[in-house]
Amino acid sequence: MPIHIRPARPADRADLFRICLLTADSGTDASALFSDPDYPGLVWSVPYLDFEPAHAFVADDDGEVVGYIVGTPDTNAFEARLDRQWWPKLAQLYAGRTATAPFDAKVLDRIASPVHSHAGVAASHPAHLHINLLPPAQSGGWGRKLIEAELASLREAGAKAVHLGVSPTNARAIGFYHHLGFVEIERSAGLHLGKAL
Protein backbone atom coordinates (compact mmCIF):
# COMPACT_ATOMS: atom_id res chain seq x y z
CA MET A 1 0.00 0.00 0.00
CA PRO A 2 1.41 3.46 -0.84
CA ILE A 3 1.82 6.17 1.77
CA HIS A 4 -1.49 7.17 3.27
CA ILE A 5 -2.66 9.42 6.09
CA ARG A 6 -4.42 7.80 9.03
CA PRO A 7 -5.26 8.68 12.63
CA ALA A 8 -2.40 7.98 15.03
CA ARG A 9 -2.80 5.04 17.40
CA PRO A 10 -1.23 4.25 20.79
CA ALA A 11 0.95 1.68 18.99
CA ASP A 12 2.57 4.60 17.08
CA ARG A 13 4.12 6.00 20.27
CA ALA A 14 7.62 4.63 19.56
CA ASP A 15 7.45 6.00 16.00
CA LEU A 16 6.60 9.47 17.28
CA PHE A 17 9.61 9.33 19.60
CA ARG A 18 11.83 8.10 16.74
CA ILE A 19 10.72 10.60 14.11
CA CYS A 20 10.85 13.49 16.55
CA LEU A 21 14.51 12.66 17.30
CA LEU A 22 15.39 12.23 13.62
CA THR A 23 13.98 15.69 12.79
CA ALA A 24 14.72 17.67 15.99
CA ASP A 25 17.65 19.65 14.57
CA SER A 26 15.66 22.04 12.35
CA GLY A 27 14.27 19.08 10.42
CA THR A 28 17.42 16.95 10.45
CA ASP A 29 18.75 14.12 12.62
CA ALA A 30 19.46 15.20 16.20
CA SER A 31 20.59 11.79 17.48
CA ALA A 32 24.02 13.13 18.40
CA LEU A 33 22.54 16.16 20.18
CA PHE A 34 20.50 14.35 22.87
CA SER A 35 21.86 11.84 25.39
CA ASP A 36 18.44 10.16 25.60
CA PRO A 37 16.66 9.45 22.29
CA ASP A 38 13.27 10.01 23.95
CA TYR A 39 13.99 13.59 25.02
CA PRO A 40 12.57 15.52 22.04
CA GLY A 41 9.46 13.36 21.83
CA LEU A 42 8.67 14.05 25.49
CA VAL A 43 8.07 17.69 24.55
CA TRP A 44 7.09 17.91 20.91
CA SER A 45 5.15 14.76 19.95
CA VAL A 46 4.10 12.11 22.47
CA PRO A 47 2.09 14.31 24.89
CA TYR A 48 -0.25 15.10 22.00
CA LEU A 49 -0.78 11.42 21.26
CA ASP A 50 -1.66 10.90 24.93
CA PHE A 51 -3.77 14.00 25.57
CA GLU A 52 -5.08 15.05 22.12
CA PRO A 53 -5.38 11.79 20.16
CA ALA A 54 -8.20 13.13 17.99
CA HIS A 55 -5.71 15.61 16.51
CA ALA A 56 -2.81 13.20 15.87
CA PHE A 57 -2.23 11.75 12.40
CA VAL A 58 0.58 9.79 10.76
CA ALA A 59 1.87 9.15 7.26
CA ASP A 60 1.95 5.37 6.97
CA ASP A 61 4.17 3.79 4.29
CA ASP A 62 3.05 0.16 4.08
CA GLY A 63 3.09 -0.22 7.87
CA GLU A 64 6.06 2.06 8.56
CA VAL A 65 5.32 5.48 10.02
CA VAL A 66 7.33 8.07 8.08
CA GLY A 67 5.76 11.28 9.39
CA TYR A 68 3.30 12.69 11.88
CA ILE A 69 1.33 15.76 12.76
CA VAL A 70 -0.04 16.52 16.22
CA GLY A 71 -1.88 19.48 17.66
CA THR A 72 -4.50 20.89 19.95
CA PRO A 73 -7.45 23.21 19.33
CA ASP A 74 -6.88 25.00 22.68
CA THR A 75 -3.25 25.67 23.55
CA ASN A 76 -3.96 27.15 26.98
CA ALA A 77 -6.16 24.22 28.08
CA PHE A 78 -3.63 21.71 26.72
CA GLU A 79 -0.75 23.35 28.58
CA ALA A 80 -2.79 23.44 31.79
CA ARG A 81 -3.49 19.71 31.43
CA LEU A 82 0.21 18.98 30.91
CA ASP A 83 0.98 21.02 34.03
CA ARG A 84 -1.30 18.70 36.00
CA GLN A 85 -0.76 15.32 34.35
CA TRP A 86 2.45 15.25 32.29
CA TRP A 87 5.26 17.42 33.62
CA PRO A 88 5.00 16.29 37.29
CA LYS A 89 5.40 12.64 36.24
CA LEU A 90 8.41 13.50 34.09
CA ALA A 91 9.93 15.59 36.88
CA GLN A 92 9.88 12.50 39.09
CA LEU A 93 11.06 10.14 36.37
CA TYR A 94 13.96 12.34 35.29
CA ALA A 95 14.90 13.78 38.68
CA GLY A 96 18.65 14.10 39.00
CA ARG A 97 19.34 13.98 35.26
CA THR A 98 21.89 16.49 34.03
CA ALA A 99 22.59 17.73 30.52
CA THR A 100 25.41 15.76 28.93
CA ALA A 101 24.68 16.43 25.24
CA PRO A 102 24.22 19.77 23.42
CA PHE A 103 20.39 19.84 23.34
CA ASP A 104 19.62 18.00 26.61
CA ALA A 105 19.00 21.22 28.51
CA LYS A 106 16.20 22.20 26.10
CA VAL A 107 14.19 19.26 27.42
CA LEU A 108 15.41 18.96 31.01
CA ASP A 109 14.79 22.67 31.61
CA ARG A 110 11.30 22.32 30.11
CA ILE A 111 10.53 19.40 32.43
CA ALA A 112 11.77 21.30 35.48
CA SER A 113 10.05 24.54 34.52
CA PRO A 114 7.41 24.11 31.79
CA VAL A 115 7.33 26.82 29.17
CA HIS A 116 3.95 28.16 28.11
CA SER A 117 3.03 29.71 24.79
CA HIS A 118 3.32 33.43 24.26
CA ALA A 119 0.06 34.84 25.58
CA GLY A 120 -0.55 37.03 22.55
CA VAL A 121 0.03 34.20 20.09
CA ALA A 122 -2.30 31.82 21.94
CA ALA A 123 -4.93 34.55 22.32
CA SER A 124 -5.12 35.34 18.61
CA HIS A 125 -4.35 31.81 17.34
CA PRO A 126 -5.52 29.40 20.08
CA ALA A 127 -4.74 26.12 18.29
CA HIS A 128 -1.23 24.91 17.50
CA LEU A 129 0.46 22.01 15.74
CA HIS A 130 3.77 20.19 15.23
CA ILE A 131 4.65 18.29 12.06
CA ASN A 132 7.70 16.20 11.17
CA LEU A 133 8.41 13.98 8.18
CA LEU A 134 11.28 11.67 7.33
CA PRO A 135 12.92 12.04 3.89
CA PRO A 136 10.75 9.38 2.16
CA ALA A 137 7.66 11.48 2.95
CA GLN A 138 9.15 14.91 2.25
CA SER A 139 8.06 14.86 -1.36
CA GLY A 140 4.81 13.88 -2.97
CA GLY A 141 2.71 16.40 -1.06
CA TRP A 142 2.55 14.40 2.18
CA GLY A 143 3.36 17.40 4.35
CA ARG A 144 0.48 19.30 2.77
CA LYS A 145 -1.84 16.33 3.21
CA LEU A 146 -0.93 16.00 6.89
CA ILE A 147 -1.51 19.74 7.40
CA GLU A 148 -4.89 19.49 5.67
CA ALA A 149 -5.95 16.58 7.92
CA GLU A 150 -4.86 18.48 11.02
CA LEU A 151 -6.51 21.76 10.06
CA ALA A 152 -9.77 19.94 9.33
CA SER A 153 -9.72 18.28 12.75
CA LEU A 154 -8.91 21.55 14.52
CA ARG A 155 -11.65 23.35 12.59
CA GLU A 156 -14.17 20.64 13.52
CA ALA A 157 -13.19 21.12 17.17
CA GLY A 158 -14.10 24.81 16.90
CA ALA A 159 -10.65 26.41 16.61
CA LYS A 160 -10.69 29.72 14.76
CA ALA A 161 -6.94 30.05 14.09
CA VAL A 162 -3.77 27.97 14.48
CA HIS A 163 -0.11 28.75 15.11
CA LEU A 164 3.17 26.86 14.93
CA GLY A 165 6.77 27.55 15.79
CA VAL A 166 9.64 27.23 13.35
CA SER A 167 13.34 27.97 13.49
CA PRO A 168 14.04 31.33 11.81
CA THR A 169 16.95 29.61 10.00
CA ASN A 170 14.80 26.83 8.50
CA ALA A 171 14.11 28.58 5.20
CA ARG A 172 12.71 25.45 3.56
CA ALA A 173 10.07 24.96 6.27
CA ILE A 174 9.15 28.65 6.31
CA GLY A 175 8.64 28.59 2.54
CA PHE A 176 6.49 25.46 2.86
CA TYR A 177 4.25 27.08 5.48
CA HIS A 178 3.96 30.34 3.54
CA HIS A 179 2.87 28.32 0.51
CA LEU A 180 0.07 26.86 2.65
CA GLY A 181 -1.15 30.28 3.74
CA PHE A 182 0.63 30.70 7.08
CA VAL A 183 1.92 34.19 7.84
CA GLU A 184 4.34 35.54 10.42
CA ILE A 185 2.57 36.57 13.62
CA GLU A 186 5.41 36.84 16.14
CA ARG A 187 9.20 36.83 16.18
CA SER A 188 11.37 36.82 19.30
CA ALA A 189 13.68 33.93 20.22
CA GLY A 190 11.84 31.91 17.58
CA LEU A 191 9.36 32.49 14.81
CA HIS A 192 5.62 31.88 15.06
CA LEU A 193 3.46 31.56 11.97
CA GLY A 194 -0.32 31.53 12.00
CA LYS A 195 -3.33 30.84 9.84
CA ALA A 196 -7.03 31.54 10.22
CA LEU A 197 -9.27 28.48 10.08
Max intra-chain CA distance, the chain: 45
Mean pLDDT by 10 residues, the chain (197 residues): 91 98 92 98 97 98 96 97 97 95 96 87 95 89 96 98 91 92 88 96
Taking the alpha carbons of 135, 40, 79, 77 in that order, is the dihedral positive or negative? positive
Give the model confidence (pLDDT) of 48-59 as tens digits: 999 999 999 999
Give the model confidence (pLDDT) of 167-189 as tens digits: 888 888 899 999 999 999 988 76
Question: CA 163, CA 116: separation in Å to the nearest integer?
Answer: 14
Q: From the centroid of its chain, how far is CA 172?
A: 17
